[in-house]
Amino acid sequence: MGFVNGNGTSTETHTYSFTDQNPVPGKSYYKLKQIDFDGSFEYSNIVEVDLTLPIEFSLEQNYPNPFNPATSIQYTISSKQNVQLLVYNVLGKEIATLVNEEKPAGNYEVNFDASKLSSGVYFYQLQAGSFVETKKMILLR
């Protein structure tokens, strides 16, 4: 349940929003209860929201690629996992840890700022449970 303060009595149209901070996978149902200053109230129609979780893991190609100095990396995990997203140079030396924490199932996007690195080829690797995938990216100055 959530609460949003109103804008008072007005002849103008107002827009309100509320974000469910703990959505449940599957179908959820929402309705609004508008309460007037005199205590009278009115319910909205019920709205159904179907929150479908991803069914597979994926690591997308960074964009843009080649990049300078920053790029975006998107990935999807299908269940709650300990996730590591690491960046390596061509010698295999780890140069950045972008993610190192437990994450719930979902779609994610991470920005990588390489402004302090030299031009060249780099690799990023996603590890989530038994899923491991590596992709190549190019930094051009």
- Residue 16 lies inside a defined structural domain of this protein: no
Q: Domains in the chain: how many in total?
A: 1
Spatial separation of the C-alpha atoms in residues 103 and 83, rounded to whole Å: 7
Q: Kindly report the CA angle at 124 between 120 and 129, in degrees rounded to 5? A: 170
* Percentage of the chain exceeding pLDDT 90: 54
pLDDT band of 109, cuts 50, 70, 90:
very high
* CATH number of the domain bearing residue 85: 2.60.40.2550
Spatial separation of the C-alpha atoms in residues 3 and 29, rounded to whole Å: 16
96 backbone dihedrals φ, ψ, rounded to 5°: -160, 140
The answer to whether residues 24 and 52 touch, using CB atoms and an 8 Å cutoff, is no
Q: What's the mean per-residue pLDDT of the chain?
A: 89
- Residue 118 lies inside a defined structural domain of this protein: yes
The answer to whether residues 102 and 93 touch, using CB atoms and an 8 Å cutoff, is no
Left (φ > 0), alpha (ψ -120 to 50) or beta: where does 90 sit? Answer: alpha
The answer to whether residues 117 and 139 touch, using CB atoms and an 8 Å cutoff, is yes
Domain that holds residue 128: 58-139
Write the pLDDT tens digit of every residue in 27-65: 888 888 888 878 888 898 998 887 776 668 999 999 999
- Residue 77 lies inside a defined structural domain of this protein: yes
- Residue 15 lies inside a defined structural domain of this protein: no
Q: Does residue 116 have a pLDDT over 90? A: yes
Q: What is the pLDDT, as a whole number, of residue 58?
A: 94
Structure tokens at 116: 């302090």
Cβ-proximal residues to 91 (8 Å cutoff; 6+ apart), any chain? none
pTM beyond cutoff 0.85 = no
Structure tokens at 139: 């930094």
- Residue 30 lies inside a defined structural domain of this protein: no
Structure tokens at 132: 């491991």
Of the candidates 30, 27, 84, 59, which has an alpha carbon nearest to the alpha carbon of residue 136? 59
- Residue 111 lies inside a defined structural domain of this protein: yes
